[in-house]
């Protein structure tokens, strides 16, 4: 009896801490959301107040939709993020499988070489990358961004996934070989499902920086038709005046797709963790 | 016909020489057990036979064909792993049927073979379940079923029972023996449990440090071990080795005597003091420290009133004694 009461005590404490943390973490998002629906004056007068009949205004959203091709930006960001993530996961997992599974000369060296990328920021190479993109004619294309983001994400992906793949039982892979599965089938059908939580982790880690990046879109793809959302929103931030309504509205809308992607991955993550234990 | 023939098989991992010149024949329908201490290369040898590792040199022939360059799936073998290695996302039925489907067999054939195997192994009620929903014993039966379904020329078992509890281990051991009789298939079975080795094998292969120490039927190895290692490895409790406690031994020679061949005798050759008593009901095991400071085990049948601290004298018959030279090889008994 006393032990159950004590556990419920710790449960309450744990929940209290988690709820407090959630509130703190969500507060800025909340402020952005409510202010995006207020008139400019109201934003500055009472930043924390909820929009009411008097202060409610859609002016920010109107500006966003009228100025620039917001949907185009949106689509560009989506394409870049989704394609980059797909490539990172596919190639990262394949390289990780090779490193974890096959004994060949220079295996360790190759692993170290690939992991080196984690420690060296890719932005150091910006000038060289730009020169390369210019000479291959990829400037102002989404392909340029996708290539750069894939390169940027691969080292960590290979590192994390190969550690996880080393943990997949050898017996299972060997059973597959004896049953006549090809190496590809072993990779896709046996190993990938078992490292799904790690894949979701890699996806989440890579998704946010790609979606939010301003640096490479500004340098490699500043043209109107390939602008990403983050770059597109910059038009509202001026040197002298900033259109806060528009900035807040654009930000509010930019949250949505990342959230949807996150929900997809995190569900995979949870399913991955429980599929071994429960089902 | 021979089910398996290994000739001068060697295997190295980099600079580590794991298997050294293995020569071995398994006849059709034979049940062969590999035993040996941990790390001696039993699993590696099995994996070389299965084709999961390439032999560094030597030939592997299964059913008369050299299979060194044949992939595992085409060698006509099936393997049961210690960790079961069932596919976690497939049902029991699909686990058992996957190999056949990969071979391109029709659904009707797959269904028929799976239901035959599941009937044999009492798995009919579990066919739709996932491996995670089965007990350890049931999982092991599914793993065995997956092997049976493929109708292989040669079964390979790698310590299939070591994750099961004692009672289940005994049952499954009996089942595997029955299975061997029903299928009359050739089987190779790896274990470091010498009871499994003694009870299941037609032929035992004792390995040490990647070498074959001795090959023979269980009783041959028990009654006539080629060296001290084999003598000490088979039999439980294991054989006593004495070099000081008995008189008349040549220098460097060791006397081996099994615990069950020692008995109390007021005029016995060995005297000592009891340091520990294990009462098992059916048997009583005594640990005795001899006057020359060697410890030996005595196995008495039935229950015995001897207490710790008692002084005892023990004797054995010369016919039951083994002699080993300095290198652990069998030596002829010295005429006493
Ligand atoms: N992939 C590998 N690379 C290097 N050494 C290996 C490899 N696999 C096995 N070994 C070595 O080969 C030796 C034999 O290993 P093996 O797994 O065959 O032993 P075993 O007899 O099956 O032991 P156990 O009874 O513990 O299963 C060990 O010393 C092990 O360290
Ligand atoms: Mg082993």
CA distance A211 to B168: 56
Token duo for residue A141: 């294309």
Looking at the fold, whether A221 and A88 belong to one and the same domain comes out as yes
CA distance A118 to A106: 19
Residue range(s) defining the domain that contains residue A221: 69-270
Q: How many CB atoms lie within 10 A of CB A179?
A: 24
Q: Return the minimum-mean-pLDDT range out of A10-19, B51-60, B242-251.
A: B242-251
Beta-carbon separation of B85 and A169 below 8 A? yes
Measured N-to-C along each axis, helices B136-149 and B107-120 cross at an angle, to the nearest 10 degrees, of: 130
Listed ranges A39-53, A237-251, B204-218; the one with the highest mean pLDDT: B204-218
Kindly report the average pLDDT of chain B as a whole number.
92
Q: Is residue B48 part of a domain?
A: yes
Q: How many CB atoms lie within 10 A of CB A205?
A: 14
CA distance A260 to A84: 17
CA distance B309 to B82: 43
Given this model, what pLDDT does residue A229 score?
Answer: 86
Q: Is the CB of B37 under 6 A from ligand 1?
A: no
Given this model, what pLDDT does residue A279 score?
Answer: 32
- The answer to whether residues B196 and B40 touch, using CB atoms and an 8 Å cutoff, is no
Looking at the fold, whether B137 and B280 belong to one and the same domain comes out as no
Q: Among the atoms of ligand 1, which is closest to the Cα of residue B46?
A: 18
Looking at the fold, whether A148 and A28 belong to one and the same domain comes out as no
Q: What percent of chain A has pLDDT over 90?
A: 41
Q: Is residue A22 part of a domain?
A: yes
Residue A194 has pLDDT above 60, yes or no: yes
Q: Among the atoms of ligand 1, which is closest to the Cα of residue B82?
A: 27
- Encode pLDDT of A42-74 as tens digits: 888 888 888 888 888 888 888 888 876 888 888
Q: Is residue B97 part of a domain?
A: yes
Looking at the fold, whether B207 and B62 belong to one and the same domain comes out as yes
Average pLDDT over residues A85-94: 95
Rounded to a whole number, what is the distance in angstroms from the first to the last CA of chain A? 32
**Residue bearing the bigger pLDDT, B100 or A237:** B100
From B171, B203, B231, give the residue that closes a domain. Answer: B231
Identify which of B245, B238, B197, B232 has the alpha carbon closest to the alpha carbon of residue B218. Answer: B197
- The answer to whether residues B33 and B191 touch, using CB atoms and an 8 Å cutoff, is yes
Distance of CA B223 to the CA centre of its chain: 17
Looking at the fold, whether A91 and A209 belong to one and the same domain comes out as yes
Looking at the fold, whether A120 and A32 belong to one and the same domain comes out as no
pTM of the model: 0.81
Given this model, what pLDDT does residue A5 score?
Answer: 59
Given this model, what pLDDT does residue A1 score?
Answer: 47
Beta-carbon separation of B132 and A193 below 8 A? no
Q: Is residue A278 part of a domain?
A: no
Average pLDDT over residues B79-88: 92
- The answer to whether residues B254 and B294 touch, using CB atoms and an 8 Å cutoff, is no
Given this model, what pLDDT does residue A278 score?
Answer: 35
Q: Is residue B335 part of a domain?
A: no
From B170, B203, B231, give the residue that closes a domain. Answer: B231
- Encode pLDDT of B24-81 as tens digits: 999 999 999 999 999 999 999 999 999 999 999 999 999 999 999 999 999 999 999 9
Task: Find the CATH number of the domain harbouring B69.
Answer: 3.40.50.300
Q: Give CA separation, B238 vs A15, B223, B230, in Å.
A: 59, 13, 10
- Of all residues in chain B, the one with the smallest CA distance to A168 is B85
| Total of domains in chain A | 2
Distance of CA A65 to the CA centre of its chain: 25
Confidence of residue B313 (pLDDT cuts 50, 70, 90): very high
Average pLDDT over residues B140-146: 93
Residue A274 has pLDDT above 60, yes or no: no
In this prediction the ipTM stands at 0.85
Given this model, what pLDDT does residue B112 score?
Answer: 94
Average pLDDT over residues B254-274: 92
Q: Determine the distance in angstroms separating the CA of A171 from the nearest CA of chain B, rounded to an integer.
A: 5
CA distance B145 to B96: 6
Q: Is the CB of B40 under 6 A from ligand 1?
A: yes
Measured N-to-C along each axis, helices A107-119 and A70-101 cross at an angle, to the nearest 10 degrees, of: 150
Given this model, what pLDDT does residue A264 score?
Answer: 82
Average pLDDT over residues A189-205: 88
Q: What percent of chain A has pLDDT over 70?
A: 93
Per-position DSSP letters for B15-32, written without gaps between them: TEEEEEEEEEEEETT-EE
Residue range(s) defining the domain that contains residue B179: 2-231
Beta-carbon separation of B52 and A190 below 8 A? no
Average pLDDT over residues B187-210: 93
Ligand showing the shortest atom-to-Cα distance for residue B45: 1
Q: Is residue B329 part of a domain?
A: no
Looking at the fold, whether A108 and A44 belong to one and the same domain comes out as no
Q: Return the minimum-mean-pLDDT range out of A241-250, B73-82, B106-115, B298-307.
A: A241-250
Q: Is residue B336 part of a domain?
A: no
Q: Any CB–CB contact under 8 A between A279 and chain B?
A: yes
In this complex, which of A176, A178, A193 lies closest to B89 when CB atoms are compared?
Answer: A193
Q: Any CB–CB contact under 8 A between B114 and chain A?
A: no
Looking at the fold, whether B136 and B243 belong to one and the same domain comes out as no
Average pLDDT over residues B153-175: 90
Given this model, what pLDDT does residue A272 score?
Answer: 55
- The answer to whether residues B268 and B280 touch, using CB atoms and an 8 Å cutoff, is no
| Total of domains in chain B | 2
């Amino acid at each position: 009896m006393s032990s159950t009461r004590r556990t419920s005590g710790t449960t309450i404490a744990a929940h209290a801490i988690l709820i407090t943390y959630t509130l703190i973490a969500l507060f800025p998002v909340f402020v952005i959301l409510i202010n995006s629906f207020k008139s400019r004056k109201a934003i500055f007068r009472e930043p924390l107040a909820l929009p009411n009949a008097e202060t409610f205004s859609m002016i920010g959203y109107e500006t966003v939709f009228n100025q620039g091709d917001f949907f185009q930006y949106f689509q560009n960001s989506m394409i870049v993020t989704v394609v980059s993530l797909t490539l990172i996961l596919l190639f990262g997992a394949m390289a990780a499988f090779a490193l974890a599974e096959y004994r060949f000369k220079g295996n360790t060296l190759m692993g170290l070489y690939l992991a080196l990328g984690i420690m060296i920021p890719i932005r150091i190479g910006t000038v060289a990358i730009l020169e390369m993109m210019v000479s291959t004619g990829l400037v102002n294309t989404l392909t340029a961004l996708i290539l750069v983001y894939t390169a940027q994400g691969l080292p960590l992906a290979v590192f994390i996934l190969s550690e996880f793949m080393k943990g997949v039982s050898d017996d299972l892979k060997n059973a597959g070989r004896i049953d006549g599965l090809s190496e590809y089938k072993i990779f896709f059908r046996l190993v990938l499902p078992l490292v799904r939580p790690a894949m979701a982790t890699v996806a989440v880690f890579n998704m946010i920086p790609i979606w939010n990046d301003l640096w490479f879109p500004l340098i490699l793809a500043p043209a109107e038709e390939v602008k990403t959302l983050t770059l597109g929103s910059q038009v509202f931030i001026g040197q002298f005046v900033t259109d806060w309504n528009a900035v807040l509205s654009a930000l509010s809308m930019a949250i949505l797709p990342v959230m949807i992607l996150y929900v997809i991955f995190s569900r995979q993550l949870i399913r991955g963790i429980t599929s071994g234990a429960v089902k | 016909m021979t089910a398996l023939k290994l000739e001068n098989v060697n295997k190295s991992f980099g600079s580590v020489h794991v298997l050294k010149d293995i020569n071995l024949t398994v006849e059709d329908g034979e049940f062969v057990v590999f035993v040996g201490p941990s790390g001696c290369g039993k699993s590696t040898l099995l994996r070389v036979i299965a084709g999961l590792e390439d032999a560094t040199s030597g030939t592997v022939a299964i059913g008369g064909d050299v299979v060194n360059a044949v992939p595992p799936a085409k060698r006509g073998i099936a393997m049961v792993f210690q960790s079961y290695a069932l596919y976690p996302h497939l049902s029991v039925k699909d686990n058992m049927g996957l190999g056949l489907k990969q071979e391109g067999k029709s659904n009707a054939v797959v269904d028929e073979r799976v239901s035959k195997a599941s009937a044999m192994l009492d798995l009919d009620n579990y066919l739709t379940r996932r491996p995670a929903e089965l007990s350890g014993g049931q999982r092991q039966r599914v793993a065995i079923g997956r092997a049976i379904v493929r109708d292989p020329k040669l079964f390979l078992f790698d310590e299939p029972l070591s994750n099961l509890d004692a009672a289940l281990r005994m049952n499954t051991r009996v089942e595997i023996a029955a299975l061997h009789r029903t299928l009359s298939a050739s089987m190779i079975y790896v274990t470091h449990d010498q009871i499994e080795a003694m009870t299941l094998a037609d032929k035992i292969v004792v390995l040490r440090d990647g070498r074959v120490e001795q090959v023979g039927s269980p009783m041959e190895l028990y009654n006539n071990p080629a060296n001290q290692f084999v003598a000490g490895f088979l039999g439980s409790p294991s054989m006593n080795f004495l070099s000081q406690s008995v008189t008349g031994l040549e220098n460097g020679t060791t006397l081996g005597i099994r615990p069950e061949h020692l008995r109390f005798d007021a005029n016995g050759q060995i005297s000592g003091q009891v340091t520990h008593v294990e009462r098992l009901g059916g048997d009583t095991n005594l640990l005795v420290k001899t006057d020359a400071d060697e410890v030996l085990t005595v196995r008495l049948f039935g229950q015995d009133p001897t207490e710790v601290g008692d002084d005892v004298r023990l004797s054995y018959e010369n016919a039951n004694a083994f002699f080993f030279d300095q290198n652990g090889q069998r030596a002829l008994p010295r005429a006493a």
